[in-house]
Every structure is written in structure tokens, then in C-alpha cells.
Amino acid sequence: KNQVEQSPQSLIILEGKNCTLQCNYTVSPFSNLRWYKQDTGRGPVSLTIMTFSENTKSNGRYTATLDADTKQSSLHITASQLSDSASYICVVTAGNTGKLIFGQGTTLQVKP
Amino acid sequence: KAGVTQTPRYLIKTRGQQVTLSCSPISGHRSVSWYQQTPGQGLQFLFEYFSETQRNKGNFPGRFSGRQFSNSRSEMNVSTLELGDSALYLCASSLDSGTGAKNIQYFGAGTRLSVL
């Protein structure tokens, strides 16, 4: 069964610290993996999109990595800011159907 | 350039009623996708419209329907509302159809539907 599991479910860190969010998937065949940031009361915003051949992609202080062999991805946030407080959603696209499989998200809270 | 606009932002209905939600995509975008987001199920894909044709459909009952107009604006309709339909309904627009890596979706702020 195609699934996307994210961990941790929630995370609290202090401003200025780094953190890493995990995404494990069982989707096969694989097309691409996306990370979204969703602020409270807003729609998701795309952070990164990676295909099978890409293993790292950055967007400012956000760096996503992909290991297609182990079917794992991580999102690393450097020097966190209060505005990073949000839900982060990992989405994997199935290669044969184009179907999107969503993770449940990780809720990050950055405290001053 | 204006983003994706969803109206209304909030809606309260009672069981058995029907509701229509509206989505105006980014200018030039021809694809509109709809999603349901709930705390328990997370984000779930409803359907995608491209050039006024439904291209993909998720696993939702026939009470959920949609359409797209020639100007790419889209509407989603839910008939015979149930309590479980309470959710945030998100619309996303993109230039092209499908979920390829180069086709970035831009989301609206959503319509929060509460069914009493």
C-alpha cells in the first residue's frame, strides 16, 4: 500500500536552532516528492520538489534531501525563526498514476 | 499578480443542505485542483479540472462534484451535507495538468466549512 509517514508529529524548538523533519514513504513507482509549508489559516506553499535523480534541493534556509534507495526524505531548517512555526507536509507522487499521497504533516513551533 | 482566490472564506451549513465553493486561479493557469483537509485525515485529493474537463478524481462520493468555466474559474459543489464534511477545502491552480515535478501548484487560503 502506498503510504507516506512523517515524524515527529510535532516539534518545539528555540529560535535560532536547527531542526530536521523526516518523511518515509512506500510509494512505488516513485515520480517526485514535495515539501509544503502551511501556516495556520493559510493554504500550503511549495518549498521544494525533487525527482528520483535529485538528492538535495535548497530554498533559502530550507534544505530537503532524498534517498530514493531507502525511500526517505528529510527537511532541514537552519537558524529557525518564529515565522517557521507552521505545519510541514510531505507529498509523494506515484509514478504510474500521478496520484498524490500525502503525509499527515509535522507541526513545528519555534519559541523565542 | 494576484494569487488563488477562494470564496467564501467561512461557511456554516446544516446537515442535508448543499453548498457551492468558488475558486479563481492565478491568471494564465488552466488547471484547478480541489482538496479536503481535516485534522484526522489530513489532505485528500478531490478532483482536478483542466480546460473545463475533469482530468482526475479522488475517492470521494458522488455528492462531491465540480466544474470549470472557460475563464478557468472553478466551483465545487457538495450536496446533502453530512457532519463529516466539515473541513477546510483548498483549491490549487497550476499552469498545466498533472503532478509532474515541473508543474507547481499554488494554493488558495481555503474555505472553512462547518456542518451543524
Beta bridge partners of A5: A24
Name the minimum distance, in Å, from the CA of B70 to any CA of chain A.
Answer: 25
Per-residue confidence (pLDDT) for residue A97, from 0 to 100: 79
Backbone angles phi, psi at B86, to 5 degrees: -60, 125
Dist. CA A101–CA B6, nearest whole Å: 24
- For chain B, the average pLDDT equals 94
pLDDT score for A99:
86
Chain A nearest-CA residue for B40? A104
Pairing between β-strand B64-68 and β-strand B74-78 as defined by DSSP bridges: antiparallel
B-chain CB neighbours of A103 within 8 Å are 42
Share of chain B above pLDDT 70, in %: 99
Q: Is B21 helix (H, G, I), strand (E, B) or coil?
A: strand
Beta partners for residue B84, in sequence order: none
Q: Note the pLDDT tens digit of each residue in B38-85.
A: 988 899 999 999 999 999 899 999 999 999 999 999 999 999 999 999
User: How many other β-carbons are positioned within 10 Å of the β-carbon of residue B42?
Assistant: 17
Chain centroid to Cα B85, Å, comes to: 13
How many angstroms separate the CA of residue B78 from the nearest CA in chain A? 20
Other C-beta atoms closer than 10 Å to the C-beta of A55 total 13
Find residues 38-67 of chain A whose CB sits inside 8 Å of chain B: 41-46, 49-51
Contact B19, B10 (CB under 8 A): no
